[in-house]
Structure 1
Amino acid sequence: MSEPVSRLDERFSDPGTQATPWENAREVLENAQLSWIATVRGDGRPHVTPLVAVWLDGAFHFCTGPSEQKTRNLAGNPQVVLTTGDGRWDGGLDVMVEGEAERVTDRPALERLAAAWTSKWNGEWQFGVTDDGFSNDVGGDAYVYAVRPAKVLAFGKGTFTHTSYKFA
C-alpha cells in the first residue's frame, strides 16, 4: 500500500499545528484494543457496535457471526466506518477509517489473520480457519472482513489537529 496524501484541516486544528504523520495514525490502528464499527441497516438506520480488529497489510480487519446484525447490514450496504482512539478529551489520537467491507475467504489470508489476532492479544483471541472464515469454541463461526481505507481521519487532542488521509 502506498503512503496516503495527508492534509491538515485548519478549521478544526489549533493555529500553527502540522498534519499528523500517517505513521502515527497507522500506529493507533495497529495497537487498538477496541474499535467501533458503524454500518447501515436495511431501513437506513445506523448500527454501531464495538469489536476487536486487526490492522494488517494496509487494511482494517474484523470478524462477525453470520447471523449478526453487522452481517445482515453489510449484505445490503458494504460501506462502513471503523473508529478507534483514546476516550480522553485532552490527549491522544482518534482515528476513523472509511471504506467498503469485503469478505476474506482466501485460506492463506485467513491463516495470517488468525495468527495476527492470536499475536495481538497474547493468545486470548484464537481462531481456527474454515472455508468461510473463522471458528472458535466460544462464539462459533465468524465471517472475516477487510476494510481497505478510502479515507482516514485523525483527530489529535490536547493540541488539536484534524488530518485527512486520501488513498489512491
Structure 2
Amino acid sequence: MDPHTTPAPTPRTSLDARYSDPKATALPWSDAADRLAAAEVFWLTTVRPDGRPHVTPLIAVWSEGALHFCTGPDERKARNLAENPSVVLTTGSSVLDEGLDLVVEGAAAAVRDEDRLRALAEAYVEKYGPDWRFDVRDGAFVGDGGTAVVFAVAPRTVFGFAKGDPFGQTRWRF
C-alpha cells in the first residue's frame, strides 16, 4: 500500500436514512479515503477569534490517516488555528446529480517532525507536480513563497453526500 494513502483507523459507519434514498447503502470508508487522496482542491473552514467563520480553498494531501495542508504563519487561517484548532475541510463536485461530496471535521495540529515533513513534501510533488516542491527547515516547509507551517487534520467525523441515483448520506465516526 502506498504510504501516502494509508487509511485512517476503521470508523463506525452509518447511513442517515433521513437524507438518503430508500435503496441507498452506507459507503465503505475505503471509498471516502480514496477520494480524499485523489481530490485536488479542498475548502478549509476555520474560526476567527471573534467567532466568524473563515473559508479558503487550498490543496492538501492525505497521508497516514490525516489530511495535510500548509499555510504561512501570518496568514489568517494560521492565526485562526493558533486560537482554535477546530476545522472543517470539504471537497467534492459542483455537479448536483453525480459524485460524492465529503466533509471532514477535526482539529488541526502542526506537524514539526522533519522526517515526517520531508515525506509530506514528497507527497505534494507526487500529487501536484514540481511547482509544489518544498524544502524542510526548522520544522516547516520552505518554498518560493517563504515559510509555511504544515497542519495535519485527523478526522473525527466525516460526512459523505452521494449525489445521483441513489443519493445518500454516510457518516463515519472515529
Instruction: Please tell me the TM-score bracket, short chain as reference.
Output: over 0.9
Once the two structures are superposed, residues 78-106 of structure 1 have per-residue CA deviations (whole angstroms, 9 ceiling, x without a partner) of 00000001111000001111000000000
Corresponding position: 1:147 with 2:158: no
Letter in 1 for 2:67: F
2: CA distance, partners of 1:131 / 1:86: 37
2: CA distance, partners of 1:63 / 1:57: 16
Query: What percent identity do the matched residue pairs reach?
Result: 52
Aligned to 1:87: 94
1: CA distance, partners of 2:136 / 2:128: 17
Aligned to 2:171: 164
1:125, distance to aligned residue in structure 2 (A): 1.1
2: CA distance, partners of 1:35 / 1:42: 22
Aligned to 2:119: 112
1:5, distance to aligned residue in structure 2 (A): 1.1
Q: Where does structure 2 lack aligned partners over 5 or more consecutive residues?
A: 1-7
1: CA distance, partners of 2:124 / 2:87: 21
Corresponding position: 1:28 with 2:35: yes
Q: How many residue pairs are counted as aligned between the two chains?
A: 166
2: CA distance, partners of 1:69 / 1:116: 25
Alignment equivalent of 1:14, drawn from 3, 8, 21: 21
Aligned to 1:45: 52
Is the 2:44–2:88 contact (alpha carbons within 8 Å) kept by the matching residues of 1?
A: yes
Q: Where does structure 1 lack aligned partners over 5 or more consecutive residues?
A: none
| Structure 1: 4+ residue segments shifted above 3 A | none
Cα RMSD of the aligned pairs, angstroms, is: 0.8
